[in-house]
Copies of this chain bind each other. A is one copy, B any other.
Amino acid sequence: MREAYHDQLGQLADQLADMCGMAGDAMERATSALLQADLGLAEQVIGDDVKIDDVRASIEEQAYALLALQAPVATDLRIVLAVIHAAESVERMGDLALHVAKAARRRHPNHVLSDTVEPYFAEMGRIAVELAREATDIIRTQDVERARSLEDADDAMDDLHRHLFTVIMDKDWPHGVPSAVDTTLLGRFYERFADHAVSVAKRTVFVVTGRMPGYGDDIDD
């Protein structure tokens, strides 16, 4: 029975990793949709978002059943609770990618972003997708050493986001208010996506080591 229980825990972790992979794919496609004004890709992300929500619902159901039927204690309980929290974060990652895709669709056939800022978003998109992939791998492999490298990527994202903000707020911003507003909101989506990916990695480290790493910004909204 204990073996069946650990199989169930393993299945939970696998589903979480799958879900995190889906969120990474969503952000990759959403970023392409944004930078290339690609309506088809945007629609794909929008249509696929419900699948991410479905995995979260399934994870929560299974976690609940595990808690109710197996009454886990100590480490196992910590794993189940961490999976529940992480699934919430990953669903938000999916929703943030969805926001990006919706912005691309809304302004199609125009580009949402000005040429000035598109390079920032190309790089933020690359970092965001990389963070999601790393988080996915860390969940699968339980390799907590890899979690340390996420700190650097998250710092890079924060630096880009801050720099982008100074560009937007510069008195010589030439693209008008609507573009500044869109750019601000989109920048925030990427920054929050990264924060959530780091949060998922931190929870995994906590599960494996029993200690919550102290690096990086906390999720703050």
B185 and A177 within 8 A (CB): no
Contact of A181 among B98, B184, B220 (CB under 8 A): B184
Q: Which of A163-207 contact B (CB under 8 A)?
A: 168-169, 173, 176-178, 180-181, 184-185, 188-189, 192
Looking at chain A's contact residues, the main secondary structure is helix
* Interface range for A: 20 to 34
- In the complex, the answer to whether B95 meets A221 with C-beta atoms within 8 Å is yes
A64 at the binding interface (Cβ < 8 Å): yes
Q: Interface code A55-70, partner B: CB below 8 Å = 1, 0 otherwise?
A: 0000000001001100
Q: Is the CB of A98 within 8 A of B220?
A: yes
User: Which of A71, A92, A177, A188 has the most CB atoms of chain B within a 10 A radius of its CB?
Assistant: A177
Q: Judge whether B85 and A77 touch: CB under 8 Å.
A: no
Q: Is A105 an interface residue (CB 8 A)?
A: no
Q: Is the CB of B99 within 8 A of A220?
A: yes
- Establish whether residues B88 and A64, one from each chain, have CB atoms under 8 Å apart when the complex forms: no
How far apart are the CA atoms of A84 and B178 in the complex, in Å?
39
Question: Once bound together, how far apart are the Cα atoms of A64 and B123, in whole Å?
Answer: 40
Check B64–A68 contact: CB distance below 8 A.
Answer: no
Point out the residues of chain B lying under 8 angstroms from A88, CB to CB.
85, 88
The yes or no answer to A74 lying at the interface (CB within 8 A) is yes
Q: A188 CA to B184 CA in the complex, in Å?
A: 11
Q: What is the chain B residue whose CB lies nearest that of A180?
A: B177
Cβ–Cβ < 8 Å partners of A98 in chain B = 220
Whether A177 pairs with B188 at a CB distance below 8 angstroms is: no
Contacts of A73 in B (CB 8 A): 68, 71
List 10 A–B pairs whose Cβ atoms lie within 8 Å, in order of A's numbering. A64-B78, A67-B81, A68-B73, A68-B77, A71-B71, A84-B84, A180-B180, A180-B181, A184-B184, A189-B221
